[in-house]
Amino acid sequence: MKFGEITFEKPDIKAYEIEFNKLINKFDDANSFDQQNEVLKEIYVKRDDFDTMSQLAFFQYTGNTQDKKLKDQSDFMDSILPVNQNLTSKYYKSLVNSKFKGQLTNKWGRRIFDLANYKLKGFDPSIMKSLAEENSLSSEFIRIKGSASIDFEGKMENLAGIMKYLSSKDRTIREKAFKARWDFFQENQEELDDIFDRLVKLRHGMSTKLGFENFVKLGYIRMDRVDFDEHMVSDFRDSIRKYISPIAKQIRSKQQKRLGLDQLERYDLGYFFKTGNPTPKGSPQEILDYAGIMYEELSNETDEFFKYLVKYDLIDVINRPGKAIMGYCWFLSNYQHPYIFANFNGTKHDVDVLTHEAGHAFQYFCCRENEIIEYRSPGSETAEIHSMAMEFLTYPWMDGFFKEDTQKYFYNHMSSAVSFLPGGCKGDHFQQIIYENPGFTPDERGDVWNEMCKLYEPDINRTRHPVLDKGRDWHRVGHFFESPFYFVDYVMAQICALQFLEKSKHDRKSAWNDYVKLCKLGGSIGYLDLLKASNLKSPFEESTVASVSATIKERLDNFDDSGF
């Protein structure tokens, strides 16, 4: 079925609950491994039925946040998601207590048991009402960002559309766009502060009910971080600050010199070259058409994959009013469809987001037939390797997108990827402090944000708008509202993706084979085991960050940007 032909069918949650409980009882009462294994499969089919409608409601709502029917659909699914979480938790309890656990482990591997035991620590029926409220608040944040309609230079722009002006050759335009963007957030600051404040308090309340001191532990459980903890992440952040922050500062210093500016202002950060930023040459459809050629030439697997996306209309990248300002890829379970969502705006971002989300989609495509839901994709710290490595592994085809701007693109893409790393750690450190101190006021959170900016990116000018002065520019980051502690996964994944780039320079076939292996393993084994299986060094080793940073610095130092 093509995406547009799939219709939302409102789940009968009472009937679903009765049927699911019957399956759990049947699982518990099974007299043999074979019988219990068949019931396990039935449970996953039932879970897929629910997940499909939840996924579809989200996809349709983010496609048009101004449509009341779609909002009602999304709100309904938000309200019943905790019921499904409760049922899944019951299944996990039955699974880990199975009298045929040894045989199930032999059949499906131990990872599902590790995950089940871990996830059971993060749920209790007593928090179901709070979970529904949390879902509703996250959706409200999406709606506010999607509602932006900014009058700029005689055109009405949303938050995605305004971004293209931040790379204008005209500095006055950049400054005006910068102000218009942050004016929107200033107008909505009070409401966004309130939403986040309620989210923090809700999450803290759920955590204490579950026996945790604060939300940090629960946040890690939600992220399925079986293999590492917040102390390892803290050490990783220190490594990034030690090895990468100086390189990011050097990148900005070269940018200031290249542009001939006395001061690199915040509104200058998105403008890299005096001759203009690299832009894709062609319409959105022409970009997608060339992507089809790229994936046909890259490998047989990616050729089949991308033709599948096109055949079933599973790519939505056209920016339009009311569309949520986000990029994602997720899975429509019953149809085995990966689905790509983004907002093209005529900048290099269009190619970046396409290859990035295609990396996610390719991994889902590789694992689409796995009967175990938890094995179809890994944790986000691994999933972001799929996406970020795909950006690098498609480098040989960038000339087809950027033509005469290709060399500019390579430098811009690499330097942007590196410059993000300290910022990603800044966001993670900020969240940890906030959730360790749930009683902070919005202004106190703003003070923490500004402290983190000075710690990780001290050279960036923090003035020029009240939103920045008050430390509220993090309001733009959806992950902080919707997926706490996700942000650092991009940083960890980038350290691994850069390893793929380096390997591909010396042995492209081997690098691609390792990448495909990583994708096909999905979430069937743990994070550190996935790294070993695909010949990647752990980002938790300081030596890994040191080595990757040395390679990055050499690449950037040897890049001649004098002609740009």
Instruction: Give the pLDDT confidence score for residue 563 in this predicted structure.
Output: 79
Contact 426, 453 (CB under 8 A): yes
Which residues contact residue 273 at a Cβ distance below 8 angstroms, ignoring those fewer than 6 apart? Answer: 258, 259, 408, 412, 561, 564
Closest CA to 150 of 137, 165, 139: 165
Binned at pLDDT 50, 70 and 90, residue 464 comes out as confident
Structure tokens at 82: 């905790």
Structure tokens at 414: 């690499």
Give 394-431 as a 3 state SS string. Answer: CHHHHHHHHHHHHHHHHHHHHHHHHHHHHHHHHHHHHH
40/23 Cα distance (integer angstroms):
8
Q: Residue range 245-262: average pLDDT?
A: 95
| Whole-number percent of the chain with pLDDT over 90 | 97
| Whole-number percent of the chain with pLDDT over 70 | 100
Instruction: Give the pLDDT confidence score for residue 561 in this predicted structure.
Output: 82
Q: Residue range 398-427: average pLDDT?
A: 96
Binned at pLDDT 50, 70 and 90, residue 560 comes out as confident
Instruction: Give the pLDDT confidence score for residue 564 in this predicted structure.
Output: 84
Instruction: Give the pLDDT confidence score for residue 337 in this predicted structure.
Output: 98
Assess whether pLDDT exceeds 80 at residue 374: yes
Instruction: Give the pLDDT confidence score for residue 77 in this predicted structure.
Output: 96
Instruction: Give the pLDDT confidence score for residue 54 in this predicted structure.
Output: 97
Half-sphere exposure of 43 toward its Cβ, with a 13 Å CA cutoff?
27
Cα distances from 393 to residues 2, 51, 203, 355, 378, in angstroms, run 29, 32, 39, 9, 20
132-160, pLDDT tens digit by residue?
999 999 999 999 999 999 999 999 999 99
Tally of CB atoms within 10 A around 493: 22
Instruction: Give the pLDDT confidence score for residue 462 in this predicted structure.
Output: 72
Q: Residue range 185-209: average pLDDT?
A: 97
Instruction: Give the pLDDT confidence score for residue 461 in this predicted structure.
Output: 83
Binned at pLDDT 50, 70 and 90, residue 443 comes out as very high
Q: Where does residue 282 fall: left (phi above 0), alpha (psi -120 to 50 degrees), or beta otherwise? A: left
Binned at pLDDT 50, 70 and 90, residue 350 comes out as very high
Instruction: Give the pLDDT confidence score for residue 174 in this predicted structure.
Output: 95
Instruction: Give the pLDDT confidence score for residue 562 in this predicted structure.
Output: 77
Closest CA to 387 of 417, 413, 416, 356: 356
Q: Where does residue 330 fall: left (phi above 0), alpha (psi -120 to 50 degrees), or beta otherwise? A: beta
Closest CA to 149 of 266, 350, 323, 267: 323
Sheet (strand 328-332) strand order: 315-316, 337-341, 328-332
Cα distances from 540 to residues 379, 483, 531, in angstroms, run 16, 22, 11
Q: Are strands 315-316 and 155-157 parallel, antiparallel or unpaired?
A: unpaired
Binned at pLDDT 50, 70 and 90, residue 4 comes out as very high
Q: Residue range 84-90: average pLDDT?
A: 97
Binned at pLDDT 50, 70 and 90, residue 210 comes out as very high
Binned at pLDDT 50, 70 and 90, residue 162 comes out as very high
Structure tokens at 40: 């396990």
- What is the average pLDDT value for the chain, to the nearest integer? 96
Contact 498, 511 (CB under 8 A): no
In the chain, domain spans: 3-135
> Could you give the 3-state DSSP secondary structure of residue 391?
helix
86/82 Cα distance (integer angstroms):
6
Binned at pLDDT 50, 70 and 90, residue 211 comes out as very high
Dihedral pair phi/psi, residue 123, rounded to 5°: -145, 145
Q: pTM here?
A: 0.94
> Could you give the 3-state DSSP secondary structure of residue 317?
coil
